[in-house]
Amino acid sequence: MIEELWQQVLDLVSQLVIPDWGELINLLPVFMAGLAGLWLLRTVMRFASAGPTRRGKTRQKPAAPEGLHMPGPSFAPVFAAIGMGVLLFGLVLGTELLIVGLIIFVLSLLYWGREGLREYDHLVGAERLPVVVHPGPPAGVHMPGPSFRPILGALSMTVLFFGLVFGGWLLLAGVLFLASALLGWLADARGEYRKTVEADSTGHLENLPAPHYPTRLLGTFTVITVLAVLLTAGVLPPRDAEPPITGESPAPSGEGPGGGGPTIVAKDIKYDVKTLEVAAGAPFTIAFRNDDPPSVPHDVDLRSDSGEVLLDHPTINGGGSVVYDFDALTAGSYVLICSVHPFADMTATLTVK
């Protein structure tokens, strides 16, 4: 009886001490929602207690400093938020809610736009007031001159990110592009520093002269990027007379050329065969062809059933082929595997008997 009770206590405790991580991870969104709710509650409470503190008997009305224009109160942001909320729920829960959310959102934006136009009309009406137009920033404020560097940086980052996904030459192009953009930026900063030093004696900080459109740099990198795309996609260099697959021996593990051993073809990061068989006690070869793009290397290594590396062959790039030599093996089961992509798709079982 006591033992049973103790067992139950243990079971209960074990749920806490050894939690079911899968279940806990499933609860993560609920946890996040809880956090968001707490945050919202805190915001509401702070909002309620914000504003001028009560001095004397009457609460003071909040007032902006003179010369500042504060927008009037508006429900438009609240409506838009509601519309956005319904829309997001619609994305999860289904089409009807999605359409309702979209309608609320668009209507609230139209309403907001109308409010904005009214405000504009109101300001235009005040045009006849004396207006002081300052040419440039107020005295004592220094604005940096115009620059193409941030745009170049963004463009090069784009190429770089595509390079991270598609690899190969595109990555190289992205790195080069980013490096040149950043170096240029650094040179500009150097120039600005010099101007600042000059300003110490002249008392006047001059901007660098406005830059020209970086047509040459952009042209160069457009060409490089296009070239990199073509190289990465395998369009260039043109492979001379790719041997057409004649379909004579479509058997996956059929006897291929090169030493009469079996053939493995890699395509889409996948071996075309899952099992191979060779005779025990005799050296043999495996002909290997890589049908992936040039930037995707593969190989065929030999490992024991327990994962020990027995033969580490060099990789070949896409479009290439090779005949790997194997020494005589004792009977048993071995693993053929690509060292670049050691996953199930690039693994085959070699049976030696």
- Smallest gap from residue 41 Cβ to Cu ion (A): 53
Of the two residues 224 and 338, which places its CB atom closer to Cu ion in the complex?
338
Which CB sits closer to Cu ion, 276 or 346? Answer: 346
DSSP 106-153: HHHHHHHHHHHHHHHHHHHHGGGS--PPPSSSPTT--PPPP-SHHHHH
Residue numbers 260-319 binding Cu ion by CB under 5 A: 298
Determine, following the binding rule CB under 5 A, whether residue 338 of this chain makes contact with Cu ion: yes
- The residue whose two tokens read 């956005």 is 84
Q: Near Cu ion by CB under 5 A, which window of 70-78, 231-239, 240-248, 332-340?
A: 332-340
Phi, psi of 249 (to 5 degrees): -130, 85
- For residue 1 the two structure tokens come to 């009886």
Name the minimum Å distance from CB 258 to Cu ion. 20
User: Which residue, 178 or 296, is less far from Cu ion as judged by CB?
Assistant: 296
Number of residues that bind Cu ion (CB under 5 A): 5
Rg of the Cα atoms in the chain: 35
Q: How far apart are CA 107 and CA 115, in angstroms?
A: 12
The binding track of 51-70 with respect to Cu ion, each residue x by CB under 5 A or -, is --------------------
Nearest distance in Å: CB 250, Cu ion: 23
Residue with tokens 């053939």: 263
Strand partners, 311: 302
Show the site string, 19-48: x = touches Cu ion by CB under 5 A, - = not: ------------------------------
Beta strands 301-304 and 332-337, pairing class = antiparallel
Instruction: Give yes or no for a cis peptide into 237 (omega within 30° of 0).
Output: yes
Nearer to Cu ion, 105 or 271 (CB): 271
Q: Is 318 left (phi over 0), alpha (psi -120 to 50) or beta?
A: beta
Structure tokens belonging to residue 192: 């600005």
SS3 37: helix
Q: Work out whether 346 is an interface residue with Cu ion (CB under 5 A).
A: yes
Minimum distance from residue 297 beta carbon to Cu ion (Å): 7
For Cu ion, which is the closer residue by CB, 298 or 313? Answer: 298
- Interface with Cu ion (CB under 5 A), residue from 104, 341, 350, 352: 341
The span from the CA of 24 to the CA of 10, in Å, is 20
Binding site for Cu ion (CB under 5 A): 298, 338, 340-341, 346
